Amino acid sequence: MQDAIIRLESVTKSYNIGSPSETEVLHGIDLTIRRGDFIALMGPSGSGKSTLLNIIGLLDKPTSGRLLIHDVDTGTLDDAGLTRLRGHTIGFVFQHHMLISAFTAAENVMMPLVVDHGRSSAAIEDRARALLDEVGLTAVADNLAPNMSGGQQQRVAIARALAMAPDLVLADEPTGNLDSKSADDVFELMRRVNATGGSSFLIVTHNIELARRCDRIVEVIDGRIRT
């Protein structure tokens, strides 16, 4: 499918398979995420949002159905192949920024590139500082993570998610721990990155006002996508 980054075809996910407590959490999910999409993922607690996000992010595998990334059936890949595809295709932003407190903002942004290349370099540092400039944090590039505000830390997390130039950024409640002004600033930053940088975004949020500012809302209810 043209411009499709992610395609889920009849995806199910069950836990405790074969036991009396076997539970199917996702039921026949079909979903396509295309280049340039900016999508809100909504649903009540326990609806299957986190499970769906983990499957799209290659952190978990479907029980049945197919997940295709750029038309590659991920079910045919071994763990090394999945890790490589995840690292080069998907960026992650979490509700808790997950920064390394002993590292500066620049060092945190460098980490995905250092891991991928096996070493640091001047080019990697330049890339990290350019990303921090893009998210408006040039002035605090050398600050340790704990010495920044919550909004600044989440901006660093977004810059880190963009380090590998991913096709898709998965953001799990990225504004959930922020005050309303910081939340709005972080949301607008993601919108700007989406418009200018080309990365698609799938954002889990309970904030209906933010969701309505996305291009599309995907609602998960009892493990099914409501259409």
pLDDT band at 179 (very low <50, low <70, confident <90, very high): confident
- At residue 25, the 3 state secondary structure works out as strand
pLDDT band at 189 (very low <50, low <70, confident <90, very high): confident
Per the prediction, the chain carries an average pLDDT of: 92
pLDDT at residue 2, rounded to an integer: 58
CB-based contact 166:116 (threshold 8 Å): no
pLDDT at residue 177, rounded to an integer: 81
Cβ contacts of 133 within 8 Å, gap of 6 or more: none
Pairing of strands 38-42, 216-221: parallel
- Reported as a single tens digit per residue, the pLDDT across 138-162 is 999 999 999 999 889 989 999 999 9
Give the burial class of 20: count Cβ atoms within 10 A of its Cβ; 0-12 exposed, 13-18 middle, 19 or more buried: exposed
pLDDT band at 51 (very low <50, low <70, confident <90, very high): very high
Give percent above pLDDT 70 in the chain: 99
Q: How far is CA 174 from CA 87, 150, 190, in A?
A: 20, 11, 10
- Round to whole Å and give the CA distance between 64 and 25: 12
| Closest of 174, 183, 201, 184 to residue 56, by C-alpha | 201
pLDDT at residue 167, rounded to an integer: 95
- Reported as a single tens digit per residue, the pLDDT across 10-39 is 999 999 998 998 899 999 999 999 999 999
**In terms of residues, how long is the chain?**
227
CATH of domain 36-61+78-226: 3.40.50.300
Confidence check: pLDDT of 74 > 90: yes
Confidence check: pLDDT of 1 > 70: no
Amino acid at 144: L
Instruction: Using alpha carbons only, give the angle 160, 165, 171 rounded to the nearest 5 degrees.
Output: 55
Cβ contacts of 151 within 8 Å, gap of 6 or more: 178, 179, 181, 182, 185, 186
Confidence check: pLDDT of 88 > 80: yes
pLDDT at residue 35, rounded to an integer: 94
pLDDT band at 97 (very low <50, low <70, confident <90, very high): confident
- At residue 107, the 3 state secondary structure works out as helix
pLDDT at residue 227, rounded to an integer: 63
- Round to whole Å and give the CA distance between 73 and 8: 10
Confidence check: pLDDT of 43 > 70: yes
Confidence check: pLDDT of 95 > 80: no
* Pick from 8-12, 177-181, 220-224: least confident: 177-181
Instruction: Using alpha carbons only, give the angle 65, 86, 51 rounded to the nearest 5 degrees.
Output: 50
